[in-house]
Amino acid sequence: LAEKVAEDRDQPAETEDGIRVSLQVNAGLNVDHGHERWGHYEGIGLYRTEIPFMMRERFPTEQEQHELYRQTLQTHRDVPVVMRTLDIGGDKPLSYFPIKEENPFLGWRGIRMTLDHPEIFLVQVRAMLRANIGLDNLQILLPMVTTLDEVDEASRLINQAYFEVRNELAQEDRVLHIQRPKVGVMVEVPALLYQLDAVGRKVDFFSVGTNDLTQYLLAVDRNNSRVAGLYDAYNPALLHALQHIATRCAEIQKPVSVCGEMAGDPGGALLLVAMGYRTLSMSTHNLDKIRWILRHVDSKVLQVLLTQALSCSHPDQVRRLVTMKLEALG
Ligand code: PEP
Ligand code: MG
């Protein structure tokens, strides 16, 4: 199978009847090297900026962040790079910024923390905007958004950072053009499911984080082995939620991608493409497999699979269905 998979490495992911799916990469630190070995990819769909923060003993300065982001934007200059603003809290601690809470997953995470510390947010966004000068492949993604107010406040700060950087450049008499990047929101808190229209009017794109969406929709700690059996992306409730997001985003004509682990799972990818998702972002080690599978199905097969999956009442039924389909593909 490895050989078969390797044959299609430099081809785009396109089903037998011509549905194009953009395959992108989730990255943290490994992003600046080795992309020659990834095969065909069309962007960095999720750059987790908290990872370089977690590797240090203090907050990186604006200049340090600028150099890091510049390197990544430059390495992947021909494709979009979606940089997520700092997403710490929950399962992602910073040793030099301890957060003690009874319920960290329901607590001060992602955008909630950075909006309470606008100085951290502004420094990061300024570093991103400066890194993007002359390249223009940056997109900014906001994690753990729950309310419209958070989107408004984050947009206001991104604007502020934009004008600060622009004025500084003007004062230095540098005729560099600074672009306003596209801004998107993660769909990972279930409340977002019912605010796609309102949030969609304020942002350029959505990216579905199935890791946290599964955790919050099913109320299961994603790292607790006692309830690990309940944490299941094939749960029909989650499938219906994902179908709702895809349908609503198509209706409001807002681009939407999936960047949770489900996008890199063979069965998950089939179901997501069947639902209408056309951009999947995954770990590099899943790229070849997903590309090959998508190149060997057609939309009729996908539609039948999805209809059957959505009528299941148990995750194991869904798992059996997709396993059968994958075995039939070889
Ligand atoms: C997610 O929640 O699905 C996601 C992609 O983000 P993370 O795993 O970094 O929380
Ligand atoms: Mg998440």
From the CA of 67, how far away is ligand 2's center (Å)?
25
Q: Is 254 in the pocket of ligand 1 (CB under 6 A)?
A: no
Does residue 115 register a pLDDT over 90? yes
What confidence tens digit (pLDDT) does each residue in 197-223 have? 999 999 999 999 999 999 999 999 988
Count of residues making up the chain: 330
What is the best residue among 189, 211, 215, 262 to mutate for testing ligand 1's pocket, by most ligand atoms within 8 Å of CB? 211
Half-sphere exposure (CA, 13 Å, Cβ side) for 326? 18
Q: Is 257 in the pocket of ligand 1 (CB under 6 A)?
A: no
* Mean pLDDT over the full length of the chain: 95
Instruction: Starting from the CA of residue 261, give the closest ligand.
Output: 1
Take residue 15 and report the two structure tokens written for it: 């089903």
Q: Which residue has the tokens 């000068």?
A: 133
Q: Ligand 1, residue 48: give the atom nearest the CA.
A: 9
Instruction: Starting from the CA of residue 48, give the closest ligand.
Output: 1
Burial of 23 (0-12, 13-18, 19+ CB in 10 A): buried
Q: Ligand 1, residue 259: give the atom nearest the CA.
A: 5
The one-letter code for the residue type at 59 is: F
- 318 vs 297: CA distance, rounded Å: 18
142: left (phi over 0), alpha (psi -120 to 50) or beta: beta
- pLDDT bin (cut points 50, 70, 90) of residue 137 is very high
What confidence tens digit (pLDDT) does each residue in 282-319 have? 999 999 999 999 999 999 999 999 999 999 999 999 99
Cα 42–45–48 angle (5° rounding)? 140
- 209 vs 186: CA distance, rounded Å: 6
The answer to whether the pTM exceeds 0.80 is yes
From the CA of 82, how far away is ligand 1's center (Å)?
13
Nearest residue to 149 via CA among 107, 199, 197: 199
pLDDT at residue 190, rounded to an integer? 98
Question: What mean pLDDT do residues 31-47 have?
Answer: 92
Does residue 127 register a pLDDT over 70? yes
- pLDDT bin (cut points 50, 70, 90) of residue 82 is very high
From the CA of 44, how far away is ligand 1's center (Å)?
14
pLDDT at residue 90, rounded to an integer? 86
- pLDDT bin (cut points 50, 70, 90) of residue 5 is confident
- pLDDT bin (cut points 50, 70, 90) of residue 1 is low
From the CA of 126, how far away is ligand 2's center (Å)?
23
Neighbouring residues of the ion ligand 2, judged by CB less than 5 Å: 188, 209, 212
Find the radius of gyration of the CA atoms of the chain.
20
- 290 vs 315: CA distance, rounded Å: 21
Does residue 175 register a pLDDT over 70? no
Report which protein residue has its CA nearest ligand 1's atom 6: 209
From the CA of 241, how far away is ligand 2's center (Å)?
16
From the CA of 211, how far away is ligand 1's center (Å)?
5
What confidence tens digit (pLDDT) does each residue in 226-258 have? 999 999 999 999 999 999 999 999 999 999 999
Q: Is 260 in the pocket of ligand 1 (CB under 6 A)?
A: yes
pLDDT at residue 142, rounded to an integer? 98
- 282 vs 297: CA distance, rounded Å: 19
Does residue 58 register a pLDDT over 90? yes
What is the best residue among 25, 48, 220 to mutate for testing ligand 1's pocket, by most ligand atoms within 8 Å of CB? 48
Determine what percent of the chain is predicted with pLDDT higher than 90: 88
Buried/exposed 73-101: b ≥16 CB within 10 Å, e otherwise:
beebeeebbbbbbbbbbbebebeeeeeee
The ipTM, to two decimals, is 0.99
Backbone angles phi, psi at 188, to 5 degrees: -140, -15
DSSP string computed for 7-43: HTTTS-EE-TT--EEEEEEEESSGGGS-GGGS-S---
Q: Is 235 in the pocket of ligand 1 (CB under 6 A)?
A: no
Report which protein residue has its CA nearest ligand 1's atom 4: 209
